[in-house]
């Protein structure tokens, strides 16, 4: 039986998500407190922006065998139409269960006049979204979408089509060395043209949070499913971001005039530390986190961007002064890879979640030792 979830039952809905996450292949168990917090307006800006959500659970003999949420984010529109969202989806490996859950969520969104539906997306791209479609057997990195392999297959069987795809490319040490050798000419060009990098420090972290927001807002606004948020919301939602970054490898790019024109965030590998907590946040679990926090394996190169005007400017300046265009992405990635190798903390680097068509994908295709894929799906519905 499928039933709507009221506000007083959100803990049950959240607990179901935690329970299902325990069975994700190589996944990281969700934290109940964090799951519950997503339903509170004080903790989730989605509701403050006028977002609306209706949750459903599927029970069989009082056992939850599936859950789903239908959401409307007023900030998300395509061709002037508000997009309906399907998210917070989990179910057992029975297509009939997934079908019934999707039926009830889509019926709800159709009643709200949504003719275009995206999923999986929990509230917005600032939260969790996308299904993993390849790489289930591999070591995870923190923040990577994880789900059973049958989830995307169920969506496709229902009729969802791919809206956007992503790749993560993993480099082992040999691959990193090859990448550096193939791109070091760009890095040398970068320095010869008087460009420079600034690292993240305890003293400049507030400034760099402001800068990251400004660069993301300026460069990602054309991204499919992008929704704008304020600086205040960004800094609240990502308040832990500086602590998650590898300060020796994260880079902010400055042009010869000293203006910040780009950035590349590199996350520390806390996968084993978070997995050791097993979804709990008590004193003992925090001790387990501390005991495993240095068990690093994979540096996560994520969220890089440069302002388009300065990308073009670098190419022109390089060609004019040294007869070779400067590629900011190539130079920045090369320096990050060098810093990761020099750190001695990692065996691998993952260039993570690169969108289809993104130029940065071309920088590691030849050297990648492993590729993982992800999808966001779309369904058109009609009366």
Q: pLDDT tens, 117-128? A: 999 999 999 999
Q: Are 328 and 308 in contact (CB under 8 A)?
A: no
pTM of the model: 0.92
Q: Which residues contact 281 (CB under 8 A, 6 or more apart)?
A: 31, 33
Find tokens 């209706």 and name the residue: 54
- Classify burial at 233, counting beta carbons within 10 Å of its beta carbon; exposed 0-12, middle 13-18, buried 19 or more: middle
Which residues does 222 contact at the CB level (< 8 Å), separation at least 6?
none
Average pLDDT, the chain: 91
- The number of helix segments (H) and strand segments (E) in the chain equals 13, 13
What confidence category does residue 366 fall into, taking pLDDT thresholds of 50, 70 and 90? low
Q: Say if residue 357's pLDDT is above 80.
A: no
Report pLDDT digits (tens) over 173-218: 999 999 999 999 999 999 999 999 999 888 888 888 898 888 888 8
Question: How much is the pLDDT for 78?
Answer: 83
Q: What angle do CA 244, 247, 252 make, to 5 degrees?
A: 110
Question: In the predicted model, is pLDDT for residue 376 greater than 60?
Answer: yes
DSSP characters over 52-115: EEEEEEEEETTEEEEEEEEEEEEEEEETTEEEEEEEEEEE-S-HHHHHHHHHHHHHHHHHTT--
Phi-psi label, residue 135: left if phi above 0, alpha if psi -120 to 50, beta otherwise: left
Q: Tell me, what DSSP letter sits at residue 306?
A: E
| pLDDT bucket at 361, cuts 50 / 70 / 90 | low
Task: Cite the beta strand spans of the chain per DSSP E.
Answer: 2-5, 52-60, 63-78, 81-91, 116-119, 131-134, 161-172, 196-199, 251-254, 260-267, 298-306, 348-355, 370-380
What is the 8-class DSSP label of residue 129? B
Structural domains in the chain plus CATH codes: 2-129 (3.40.630.30), 170-373 (3.40.630.30)
């Amino acid at each position: 039986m499928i039933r709507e979830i009221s506000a007083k039952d959100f803990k049950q809905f959240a607990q179901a998500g935690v329970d299902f996450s325990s069975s994700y292949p190589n996944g990281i168990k969700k934290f109940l407190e964090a799951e519950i917090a997503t339903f509170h307006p004080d903790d989730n800006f989605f509701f403050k922006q006028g977002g609306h959500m209706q949750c459903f659970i599927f029970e069989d003999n009082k056992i939850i065998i599936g859950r789903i949420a239908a959401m409307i984010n007023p900030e998300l529109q395509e061709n002037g139409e508000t997009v309906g969202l399907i998210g917070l989806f989990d179910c057992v490996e029975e297509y009939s269960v997934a079908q019934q859950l999707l039926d009830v969520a889509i019926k709800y969104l159709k009643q709200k006049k949504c003719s275009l539906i995206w999923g999986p997306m929990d509230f917005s791209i600032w939260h969790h979204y996308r299904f993993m479609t390849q790489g289930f057997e591999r070591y995870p990195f923190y923040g990577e979408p994880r789900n059973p392999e049958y989830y995307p297959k169920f969506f496709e069987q229902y009729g969802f089509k791919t809206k956007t795809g992503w790749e993560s490319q993993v480099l082992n040490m040999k691959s990193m060395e090859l990448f550096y050798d193939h791109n070091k000419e760009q890095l040398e060009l970068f320095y010869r043209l008087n460009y420079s990098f600034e690292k993240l420090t305890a003293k400049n972290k507030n400034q760099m949070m402001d800068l990251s927001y400004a660069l993301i807002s300026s460069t990602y606004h054309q991204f499919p499913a992008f929704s704008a948020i304020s600086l205040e919301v960004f800094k609240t939602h990502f308040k832990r971001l500086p602590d998650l970054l590898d300060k020796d490898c994260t880079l902010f790019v400055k042009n010869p005039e000293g203006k910040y024109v780009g950035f590349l965030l590199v996350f520390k590998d806390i996968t084993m530390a978070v997995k050791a907590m097993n979804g709990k946040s008590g004193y003992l679990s925090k001790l387990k986190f501390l005991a495993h926090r240095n068990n690093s394996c994979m540096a996560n190169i994520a969220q890089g961007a440069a302002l388009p005007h300065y990308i073009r400017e670098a190419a022109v300046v390089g060609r004019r002064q040294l007869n070779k265009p400067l590629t900011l992405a190539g130079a920045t990635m090369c320096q990050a890879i060098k810093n990761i190798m020099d750190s001695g903390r990692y065996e691998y680097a993952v260039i993570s979640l690169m969108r289809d068509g993104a130029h940065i994908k071309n920088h590691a295709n030849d050297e990648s030792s492993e590729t993982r894929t992800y999808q966001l799906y779309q369904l058109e519905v009609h009366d």
